Chain A
């Protein structure tokens, strides 16, 4: 909503500087997003073109002698429409124009020019509002030597308000004036509206067949002559961002901006009936609206009809066939209120949001409906030469009484944390022009109909606090003691991130919405997707099941920018039809160009990522993890360098190298990833540890280098070692794996370090030797292992 200062001044005396006023409004009423001169120009004067000749040396330029009151200036003008005897806007030497342009005396093709004749565009008035080409020609009565901005009613200050939906009352100059009065004082002048009705009776009868139209007022004005509006109306409409059309249409917009009530004006003779009936549209009913589009209506839409057919889409747009045209002489003024929800639905469905529909949606002052129709009739009389027929025909089901809202001083203090005195509260209500009475600290407040947003004591609290000033609210803290802490899963999520950060992985945050392909690429179970009905783009249409496709995209992005040292992780949700799952995914690029003079960068492989997974699971106190070969038909992982991660017989994630084909198609180097579904494991209870005794007796360490078939996994060999071992065997570690043709085909050497220890005694060498022999016997039996001779 844009308001102009001069317009406001018709309703309220303003004695303070407008920047101060705007700041007060900003702090007490609503956000002021723009405050500026309507036309920000200096050094303009009305001039009269005395002579206009061709420039001696330029075919398209004119050499003009322009009387600017105290002197005559030679000005070169390029506009094709300049002629002698015209009154024009002259920018004098030194003048500043809104585009930052300063006028200087200049020589153009050998001839001096001492100023500029201006177009409206050059005054900063957008072309869409006037559609004039060339210079602006003033009326012949324009006073030479005077200020053209004042003459054109452009000498105004505009204030753009960023309004919230509750303050429908501020969508009019009168409404803003009421609030200005509350916050800055100044005497108010309510509009004096007088209609001079003639004796001929208003022939229109109005009816409703719907509950969607609580009130409808109709007046008829005849003998109007449709033409351009006077300049002051046009200037004010333009200042408020509305394009002038003709005097009749402009009046309806003017009244809306002034009083907040949208109006619609019909060409009376085209209505073709003596009645107006408001009803719901019929299924399949059609109406060609003012914009010449045929609209298919549904039953929820409200229409204005002539008793037979729809002539307007109520509150949204008029019908084409009853539009006011240059030939119109008799108009019907409609001033009505409609069900906000239906107006909202219709305007949204047809994509026809307008200044009118927004006002209907947000709610009108039912006491302005009659006021506005009279104001419009009055202006049609004075500006279009119209004559108003006798009587307003209407129906009105609004209760036109003030709403009563109660507020106790105690509640006010309790809610605000500030002790307000009765005098302070009285003062606010007086400033707001709210009638009230108070007894025993209880206020009974009569809220005027212009403030439909005030319904509860909380609403009154807001009025008092804002007008008295938010700056007067003290600063305190909540008094009740509560315990603040992170939940188990929140603590664990932070701990997991710390582990990955400590290992040099950077955290990423990527979009939850991805393309359909990315959403399910790493979903091995192909679970059903969740799709957005109204996506921004196809790339952001589906909620992801896995974070990995996003991490791969981050890698590609960075590789393309020569940044190849990529180790990243993300913690975020996977979205499934049965709920959201917390996921943790990581990606590490194996080759990178980062180098140090002494320490070559560590080679990344499957076991780097497996180590990360093990560290993460250890943090979550999960000791029994199995890594199983991945059985899948999807070519996502390298079949030999990947594993499913199994905890308690459930697959909770994957780790491995990306499939070389996938790496290739995304132009990636060797890349390793893992992803874990944390949903079952994040908030498990971790028992507090109790100390285990540290044995006083020495441990004995033995190394075993075994020669076995390739097919035996390290895991199975460790299990085989443990199978026949006594409790003295404390630890089995793999310390070397080696393959060579010399060992024999399909053979490998794998070396284990075994640690033996007893709580109660020092182990004898012979004892351990015996146990080793037993283990070896068992190994040679079960996996045909032999001791490798080094």
Chain B
């Protein structure tokens, strides 16, 4: 009897090992551990056995049932694992296929640079002032120490609307307006970004419309060295930490002294290349100490206050930093261009 059962056990073990799905395993469970299994029948038969045989027989059957039960459990876990494994495998994707495109718009390069400069100066305590683009001659020129028929007016050819109004040629009139509005003469620091217009023939480096950012600081002790430090920081922020600057004498009627500011060439690091025409330096902006005449006209006592100002052409910065070949690119809005700077 026991040998018979041992044989069935071996047979059951083999079948469990071979079972490939959960249904089959269920059938096996019913077959070997169910009420009609050989082992259940054997338990019934046990009653016929002698007292001495019975415990041993019973122990053995229980052990066999426990073993089968464990085996079935293990087989079930294994099959389940295999099923999951298979499912996972079948779900695999070609991970090299492109992801769902998230379309983000591109900020215009000129706006990017304006915001970059704005952020730098706001961080240093400047506010951003804006003003009209159709401007009075008075604010665009006269109150900047450029009376009518001053030869320096040749430096900025203008689009006139009437004899007294024009499209602003720089954002300096915003400075004048800010100073006039600042009646109580409190020291202030502003930057003025915006569109400006020059009646120049257009070419790769000239556009009748472009953007400028000017800065103005008026205080009791604002000095040329403050201007130099500020410009060095600006140059390094825009063109890299290694930049140096140098100042050269220049002339703007609204500042005295007036300077042109060069940065050490960011392409060759000052060694001389085609970008800097072999000089190692690139002209980047104009600056100076606010002319006393301008302070007086705006209601500031030049004996008490002094200021510095500078103006930078945004497109010029973009052209130099991003190797843009033609200023007109900024206004064409060929999306193959605009999107490069996303």
Report Cα–Cα, A504/B257, bound state, in Å. Answer: 47
Report Cα–Cα, A303/B42, bound state, in Å. Answer: 142
Report Cα–Cα, A531/B134, bound state, in Å. Answer: 11
Residues of chain A within 8 A (CB-CB) of B225 are 416-418, 473-476
| Interchain nearest-CB distance for A534 vs B (Å) | 6
Q: Contact at A29–B249, with CB atoms within 8 Å?
A: yes
Q: Contact at A481–B125, with CB atoms within 8 Å?
A: yes
Judged by a CB distance under 8 angstroms, whether A694 is at the interface is no
Q: Contact at A483–B125, with CB atoms within 8 Å?
A: yes
**Minimum CB distance partner of A503 in chain B:** B105
Q: Interface digits, B80-122 against A, CB 8 Å rule (1 contact, 0 not)? A: 0000000000000000011011011111101100010010011
Q: Contact at A536–B199, with CB atoms within 8 Å?
A: yes
| Interchain nearest-CB distance for A521 vs B (Å) | 18
Residues of chain A within 8 A (CB-CB) of B258 are 164, 462
Q: Contact at B106–A470, with CB atoms within 8 Å?
A: no
Q: Contact at B292–A487, with CB atoms within 8 Å?
A: no
Report Cα–Cα, A456/B255, bound state, in Å. Answer: 12
Report Cα–Cα, A117/B5, bound state, in Å. Answer: 125
| Interchain nearest-CB distance for A44 vs B (Å) | 27
Q: Contact at A476–B134, with CB atoms within 8 Å?
A: no
Q: Contact at B332–A557, with CB atoms within 8 Å?
A: yes
Please tell me which one of the listed residues A31, A340, A510, A513 contacts residue B197 in the complex, with CB atoms under 8 A apart. A513
Are A482 and B257 also in contact (CB < 8 A) when A506-B105, A508-B108 are?
Answer: no
Are A530 and B149 also in contact (CB < 8 A) when A484-B122, A512-B209, A580-B134 are?
Answer: no
| Interchain nearest-CB distance for B207 vs A (Å) | 9
Judged by a CB distance under 8 angstroms, whether B232 is at the interface is yes
Q: Interface digits, A472-507 against B, CB 8 Å rule (1 contact, 0 not)? A: 011111111111111100100010010011111111
Judged by a CB distance under 8 angstroms, whether B334 is at the interface is yes
Report Cα–Cα, A476/B289, bound state, in Å. Answer: 15
Please tell me which one of the listed residues A458, A500, A535 contacts residue B256 in the complex, with CB atoms under 8 A apart. A458
Q: Contact at A487–B128, with CB atoms within 8 Å?
A: yes
Report Cα–Cα, A485/B123, bound state, in Å. Answer: 8
Q: Contact at A458–B126, with CB atoms within 8 Å?
A: no
Q: Contact at B226–A417, with CB atoms within 8 Å?
A: yes
Q: Contact at A484–B123, with CB atoms within 8 Å?
A: yes
Residues of chain A within 8 A (CB-CB) of B219 are 478-480
Please tell me which one of the listed residues A164, A476, A506 contacts residue B229 in the complex, with CB atoms under 8 A apart. A476
Judged by a CB distance under 8 angstroms, whether B237 is at the interface is no
Residues of chain B within 8 A (CB-CB) of A109 are none
Judged by a CB distance under 8 angstroms, whether B239 is at the interface is no
| Interchain nearest-CB distance for B327 vs A (Å) | 12
Judged by a CB distance under 8 angstroms, whether B48 is at the interface is no
Interface range on chain B (Cβ under 8 Å from partner): 35 or more
Q: Interface digits, B145-180 against A, CB 8 Å rule (1 contact, 0 not)? A: 000011110110001111000010000000000000
Are A508 and B338 also in contact (CB < 8 A) when A458-B291, A476-B223, A485-B127 are?
Answer: yes
**Minimum CB distance partner of A482 in chain B:** B125
Query: Could you tell me which residues of chain B, from 189 to 242, have a CB within 8 Å of some CB in chain A?
Result: 189, 195, 197, 199, 201-202, 208-209, 211, 217, 219-226, 228-230, 232-233
Residues of chain A within 8 A (CB-CB) of B306 are 414-415
Q: Interface digits, B319-342 against A, CB 8 Å rule (1 contact, 0 not)? A: 000000000001111111011000
Are A509 and B108 also in contact (CB < 8 A) when A165-B151, A470-B248, A568-B333 are?
Answer: yes
Report Cα–Cα, A512/B151, bound state, in Å. Answer: 28
Judged by a CB distance under 8 angstroms, whether A217 is at the interface is no
Q: Contact at A466–B105, with CB atoms within 8 Å?
A: no
Report Cα–Cα, A575/B168, bound state, in Å. Answer: 13
Report Cα–Cα, A465/B250, bound state, in Å. Answer: 12
Judged by a CB distance under 8 angstroms, whether B284 is at the interface is no
Q: Interface digits, B40-69 against A, CB 8 Å rule (1 contact, 0 not)? A: 000000000000000000000000000000
Please tell me which one of the listed residues A26, A494, A536, A563 contacts residue B335 in the complex, with CB atoms under 8 A apart. A563
| Interchain nearest-CB distance for A420 vs B (Å) | 12
Please tell me which one of the listed residues A28, A458, A513, A567 contacts residue B249 in the complex, with CB atoms under 8 A apart. A28
Are A484 and B121 also in contact (CB < 8 A) when A165-B152, A596-B101 are?
Answer: yes
Report Cα–Cα, A503/B102, bound state, in Å. Answer: 9
Are A416 and B208 also in contact (CB < 8 A) when A512-B195, A561-B336 are?
Answer: no
| Interchain nearest-CB distance for B80 vs A (Å) | 32
Report Cα–Cα, A250/B68, bound state, in Å. Answer: 124
Q: Contact at B217–A478, with CB atoms within 8 Å?
A: yes
Report Cα–Cα, A563/B209, bound state, in Å. Answer: 26
Q: Do most interface residues of chain B lie in helix, strand or loop, or is the interface mixed?
A: mixed
Q: Contact at A540–B101, with CB atoms within 8 Å?
A: no
Q: Contact at B134–A462, with CB atoms within 8 Å?
A: no
| Interchain nearest-CB distance for A514 vs B (Å) | 11
Are A362 and B151 also in contact (CB < 8 A) when A415-B224, A506-B339, A512-B195 are?
Answer: yes
Please tell me which one of the listed residues A362, A500, A532 contacts residue B159 in the complex, with CB atoms under 8 A apart. A532
Residues of chain B within 8 A (CB-CB) of A417 are 223-226, 228
Q: Interface digits, A540-580 against B, CB 8 Å rule (1 contact, 0 not)? A: 10010000000000100110010101111100110100011
Q: Contact at B229–A477, with CB atoms within 8 Å?
A: yes
Are A579 and B132 also in contact (CB < 8 A) when A30-B249, A511-B331 are?
Answer: yes
| Interchain nearest-CB distance for A726 vs B (Å) | 43
Please tell me which one of the listed residues B118, B159, B230 contacts residue A477 in the complex, with CB atoms under 8 A apart. B230
Judged by a CB distance under 8 angstroms, whether A610 is at the interface is no
Judged by a CB distance under 8 angstroms, whether A459 is at the interface is yes
| Interchain nearest-CB distance for A371 vs B (Å) | 23
- 28 A-B residue pairs with Cβ-Cβ distance under 8 Å, sorted by A, are A27-B248, A29-B249, A31-B248, A31-B250, A417-B223, A418-B224, A418-B225, A456-B256, A476-B225, A477-B226, A478-B124, A478-B230, A482-B187, A484-B121, A484-B122, A486-B122, A507-B106, A508-B108, A509-B111, A512-B167, A532-B167, A533-B159, A540-B208, A554-B333, A567-B103, A569-B105, A580-B134, A597-B97
| B residues in contact (CB < 8 Å) with A | 97-98, 100-101, 103-108, 110-111, 115, 118, 121-128, 132-134, 149-152, 154-155, 159-162, 167, 187-189, 195, 197, 199, 201-202, 208-209, 211, 217, 219-226, 228-230, 232-233, 246-251, 256-260, 289, 291-292, 306, 330-336, 338-339
